[in-house]
Amino acid sequence: MLTFGGCDPEPARPAAPAETAFAEARVRMVREQIAARGVTDGRVLAAMARVPRHEFVPAGQRNEAYEDWPLPIGHGQTISQPYIVAFMTAALAPKPGDRVLEIGTGSGYQAAVLSGLVAEVFTLEIVPPLARRAEADLQRLGYGNVRVRAGDGYLGWPEAAPFDAIIVTCAPDQVPQTLVDQLKVGGRMIIPVGRALGAQELYLLRKRPAGLETQAVLPVRFVPMVPGRPS
């Protein structure tokens, strides 16, 4: 059970009213949209209750930050629905020592959620202004173990590979082999696959010594993973 406020007779510095309202909305979001739909990992639920999603959405839409839907973040892109973020994070089974690669930084919110659950997060975004804004927001909010790079997710992040886990938040037609190659044996990847809207499936891959184990876990709708420009 998550609660706010304690029984301190005189809290030294009470949170500003707006922050308190956001924190309450966040607890409601976790209970009604996430736990109620079957995400049970306590560390993931705590991370979702902690990360200020309203800091990652456009200022004019902060009042919708804890609602059950994605929101536009500019450049034709969106911040995913909170439930999907929680579901994908839980599917990765993040551990405190893990190094994780994210493809599709977007707002930086998913990276912030992962930040508290693992040792290091590397996140790639193909739209440079989005990468720059997410980097600035993550820095401002103190997510010091997240590294953001503007670049093409199809190439992965070879210097930091191999990763314990990879999370892809845009949809390619097929699982990119480069990313499979950058996953440790024993590692997990969660990735939406399929171009046609409405016909995408979220896959959980596990890299075993004998090969890749693939499990379809949820029908989803993500923006396409666009091919990078040949350099």
> Among positive and negative, which fits the CA dihedral 93, 168, 205, 68?
positive
**Under rule CB under 6 A, residue 156 binds ligand SAH:** no
Q: What's the count of helices (H) and strands (E) in the chain, helices before strands?
A: 6, 9
| CB 122, min distance to ligand SAH, A | 12
Task: Please work out, in degrees rounded to the nearest 5, the angle formed at the alpha carbon of residue 103 by the alpha carbons of 97 and 108.
Answer: 80
Q: Out of 94, 153, 187, 194, point to the residue binding ligand SAH (CB under 6 A).
A: 153
Rounded to a whole number of angstroms, the minimum distance from the CB of residue 28 to ligand SAH is: 20
DSSP state of 225: -
Q: Binders of ligand SAH among 86-105, rule CB under 6 A?
A: 103-104
Assess 109 for contact with ligand SAH (CB under 6 A).
Answer: yes
Three-state SS at 131: helix
Are β-strands 163-168 and 99-103 bridged in parallel, bridged antiparallel, or unpaired? Answer: parallel
Instruction: Check residue 226 for interaction with ligand SAH (CB under 6 A).
Output: yes
State which of residues 154, 162, 175, 184 lies at the interface with ligand SAH (CB under 6 A).
Answer: 154
Cβ atoms of 163 and 100 within 8 Å: the answer is: yes
- What tokens does 151 get? 């670049």
Q: Is the Cβ of residue 35 or residue 57 nearer to ligand SAH in the bound state?
A: 57
Q: Give the C-alpha separation, 149 to 134, whole Å.
A: 10
Which string of x and - marks every residue 46-85 that binds ligand SAH (by CB under 6 A)?
Answer: -------------------------------xxxx-----
Positive or negative CA dihedral for 205, 81, 57, 114? Answer: negative
Give the nearest distance from C-beta 107 to ligand SAH in angstroms: 3
- Count of chain residues binding ligand SAH (CB under 6 A): 24
Which residue of the set 80, 107, 115, 231 is catalytic?
80
Burial 111-139 (b: 16+ CB within 10 A, else e): bbbbbbbbebbbbbbbbeebbebbbebbe
Minimum gap (Å) between residue 4 Cβ and ligand SAH: 24
Annotation marks residue 80 as catalytic: yes
125 binds ligand SAH (CB under 6 A): yes
Of 124, 183, 189, 191, the one binding ligand SAH by CB under 6 A = 124
Distances in Å between the alpha carbon of 152 and those of 59, 107, 148, 149?
28, 16, 12, 9
Is 107 a binding residue for ligand SAH by CB under 6 A? The answer is: yes
Chain residues that interact with ligand SAH, rule: CB under 6 A:
77-80, 103-104, 106-107, 109-110, 124-127, 130, 152-154, 169-170, 223, 225-226, 228
Residues identified as active-site:
80
